[in-house]
Structure 1
């Protein structure tokens, strides 16, 4: 885990978004980080020292002139004895102090004294965020090498107001912290990847459609793992309830034809991982109005036509990626069917999995797959979908390195 034993100096400044910092502390610690909190006087108006200290399991520092801490020049020690300084929420006041070199409390003094990476999560009223003075300060901080996450657009604490100014959600902040502290090799740096994920919805009429049970979890996990390995990733996603993976360009589609068009528009690429469970058929002529039950109880007849084969199209395309990987969800003769698909679709690898009802895999959180190539079958154990994604991306890097 990237954050294991990493020391995060968390500065909580005075804004209503300080309540989110409590969850942020918990999220950082559950990933193995050591959280050392600093609170401004204004922050104490919104969250208590007791709550922050209890969640961090660490002393909360508040006073620049603490008789105990400053015996060993505590503000300098805090500034240096950490891996990253995180300011959440970052108020307009604290940003202004840092941008202009002011230091009149512990938080602002530490920010000037640190040589560690600084990540700010701004939170303020939209009118404040768009104020020219705040914009100047934010621009200066970026020039000085400070990193930002957010602010986000949404409703404000003030009733009836909305706009850009909300502090980023704790998990988004954690993801940015992990990205800044991730020193792992990036074997896919400079590579472009296309991933498809989720189901497609093929409309019958304005209220009905043909779909399947794909959740998109595996495809989204692969997109995230590719980004973690340094790739530039475009994710073409069917309708899912998952959040977009961080650092990924996401194109949302519904129908198979839309997915094909988005994939082809994203070429050329080095890697294509076609994970989406694309509907094989669609209604030849969909109704513009809801199909009603007939008075005599007769059942409407639907004529189907075949959807585009996206994997086959990419596998035989003039701009074919160097590595094309397909997925085969099968309910019987899994490896036989997957091998036939490999040869038919022009793929380099097929990731085959048994989705028969008794496995509970389709739409679930785990997967048991076999990697089918033209000369071998590699059967992987039961793994979480994140673990499958990590192992597959490692294999992708090995394949491209040996190409």
Structure 2
């Protein structure tokens, strides 16, 4: 809940402005007081009347309103809020923020404030990827501006890619986090990540191509929502996120022991790519080539960490999420895996080499639940993590 928190909402000009009407309603449901600032371009997409009716307050729009400016209204607006939210944050608004321009009420408020600022960018994909916008993003992040989104997907202009404004639940979660009141505050969650390395001898092992990037991003996204994250990671190629408890392991057996030691938790997200098999008797010295032929390796099945967590009689997490990296019949195989393992959700993806997902920076997942399959558009792994974390928060809160 956001009881009595004061939110100054700056509505920029873009088709995504329609989402702010729902955002205002949901903020007020949570007890927040919303003061809207509507830009001239924003008023082309939502009306002052609709914004005012939902906010229950006057809409501010004109820098030179004599009644308000007699008391330096733009200064008062900039200092009286607990958080300033800009949604949608257009390329123009971001450029003004990055360069310190103040030629209308919204940009003047943003320049005059010492209040934390959260922005939800929304623009055409080419605009988002333009070098000028990338420079502005870097400047704003360096100035301490918090971002939520943008997401990837279809746009009103007919193009596809990153640039869609974050959805309202994501923005709400980001607001709560920015106010130090993340929806997962105090919740204890477990995330497994990375591959496992199953030794053959001191210099060789069995593994897979997982980089650990997706699991790492999920752990970071959950921590950003206030969760106490226990991060059990195999030998990953990416560093662990800040703000989590890191437990490093090598093998599947070590990972299972670490997972069981971490219990109880409210949610377990099993993103690790655990090797299915291990060599029963790893050699203590390097196996050498010999004229007698190839070495014979005997294998044993590794413990099934996801099934073990899902089927626990005691200390079962309220929510258990597994991953299914498939190359064929992705939805059918992932759906069957959810039932077989007994977990609540499966995050399925197609990892054929042609997708570039395994070891890459993007992912295209389908969330499998008891209610069916929900396909998400291809997007960056950090965006997948933020969406999944926001969805987890709806279950645990």
TM-score range, shorter chain: 0.5 to 0.7
Q: Deviations over 1:137-171 (max 9, x none)?
A: xxxxxxxxxxxxxxxxxxxxxxxxxxxxxxxxx9x
State how far apart, in whole Å, the 2-side matches of 1:220 and 1:251 are: 12
Q: Contact 1:224 / 1:248 at 8 angstroms: preserved in 2?
A: yes
| Residue aligning to 2:378 | 382
Q: Is the counterpart of residue 321 in structure 1 residue 317 in structure 2?
A: yes
| Residue aligning to 1:254 | 250
Q: Deviations over 1:201-258 (max 9, x none)?
A: 0000000000110000000000000011111101000001222201011101110001
Q: Contact 1:197 / 1:220 at 8 angstroms: preserved in 2?
A: yes
Q: How many residues align?
A: 247
Within 5 Å, give how 1:72-151 maps onto structure 2.
82-83=114-115
State how far apart, in whole Å, the 2-side matches of 1:257 and 1:314 are: 14
| Residue aligning to 1:241 | 237
> What is the TM-score with the length of structure 2 in the denominator?
0.57
Q: Deviations over 1:78-115 (max 9, x none)?
A: xx96458xxxxxxxxxxxxxxxxxxxxxxxxxxxxxxx
| Residue aligning to 1:334 | 330
Q: How many Å apart are 1:280 and its aligned residue?
A: 0.2
For the aligned residues, what is the CA RMSD?
3.2
User: SS where residue 396 of structure 2 aligns?
Assistant: helix
| Residue aligning to 2:306 | 311
Match for residue 200 of structure 1 among 196, 203, 215: 196
| Structure 1 runs not aligned, ≥5 long | 5-31, 36-55, 59-79, 85-169
Q: Is the counterpart of residue 209 in structure 1 residue 201 in structure 2?
A: no
Within 5 Å, give how 1:8-27 maps onto structure 2.
none
| Residue aligning to 1:126 | none
Larger Rg: 1
Match for residue 230 of structure 1 among 220, 226, 231: 226
Query: Closer, same or farther in 2 for the Cα pair 1:251/1:83, shift >3 Å?
Result: same
Q: How many Å apart are 1:400 and its aligned residue?
A: 2.5
| Residue aligning to 1:368 | 364
Q: Contact 1:175 / 1:246 at 8 angstroms: preserved in 2?
A: no
> What is the TM-score with the length of structure 1 in the denominator?
0.56
Within 5 Å, give how 1:146-161 maps onto structure 2.
none
| Structure 2 runs not aligned, ≥5 long | 1-9, 11-93, 101-111, 117-137, 147-173
| Residue aligning to 1:302 | 297
Match for residue 340 of structure 2 among 341, 344, 350: 344
State how far apart, in whole Å, the 1-side matches of 2:194 and 2:351 are: 15
State how far apart, in whole Å, the 1-side matches of 2:342 and 2:143 are: 36
Q: How many Å apart are 1:174 and its aligned residue?
A: 6.6
Q: How many Å apart are 1:375 and its aligned residue?
A: 2.4
State how far apart, in whole Å, the 1-side matches of 2:337 and 2:351 are: 16
State how far apart, in whole Å, the 1-side matches of 2:352 and 2:237 are: 23
